[in-house]
Amino acid sequence: MFAGLGYNSSIMKLDHVGIAVTSIEQSRRFYESGLGLPAAPHTEEVAGEKVRVLKLECADPTHIELIESASPDSAIAKFIEKRGPGLHHLCYQTGDIVADIARLKSQGFTPLWDAPRPGADGCLVMFFHPKETFGVLTELAQKSR
């Protein structure tokens, strides 16, 4: 904790770091054997985003997500085409995604969609474009209850 700030349980936690990869099979070796991060037993297909995702445990609750395109017209495929594989987005956990989106909107930050959508792990998610977030694609995720 930062001195003087005290602990506030409502501060958002970093949920995951999304990393765009051309191949989960090829890149997982670095994270699993190299860094020793335990991988989820299976990759998950996120149909809405046309991607496959492999989660690797980091410090709780943060994890690493390797994201591979499942279709040439996915946002991840376009990202890799333009910028190459690498750091794609940061995701913060929220307890109330609707309220957090409303607050960000009231401060002039425009969410990517009209309403949150289903993401990996049954979460509800929303993204904010790097144009408005000083260069970092930012995701909010609310766990399903």
* Smaller CB separation from Zn ion, 77 or 91: 91
How far is Cα 76 from Cα 81, in angstroms, rounded to an integer? 8
Residue 116 engages Zn ion in binding (rule: CB under 5 A): no
In sequence order, which ranges of 3-142 are alpha helices (DSSP H)? 24-29, 75-83, 97-106
Half-sphere exposure of residue 10, counting CA atoms within 13 Å on the CB side?
Answer: 4
* Class of residue 34 by CB neighbours under 10 A (exposed 0-12, middle 13-18, buried 19+): exposed
Least distance (Å) between residue 20 CB and Zn ion: 11
Residue 91 engages Zn ion in binding (rule: CB under 5 A): yes
* Smaller CB separation from Zn ion, 3 or 59: 59
Task: Give the per-residue contact string, 13-52, with Zn ion (x = CB under 5 A; - = no).
Answer: -----x----------------------------------
Residue 100 engages Zn ion in binding (rule: CB under 5 A): no
Judged by the rule CB under 5 A, the positions of this chain that interact with Zn ion are: 18, 91, 139
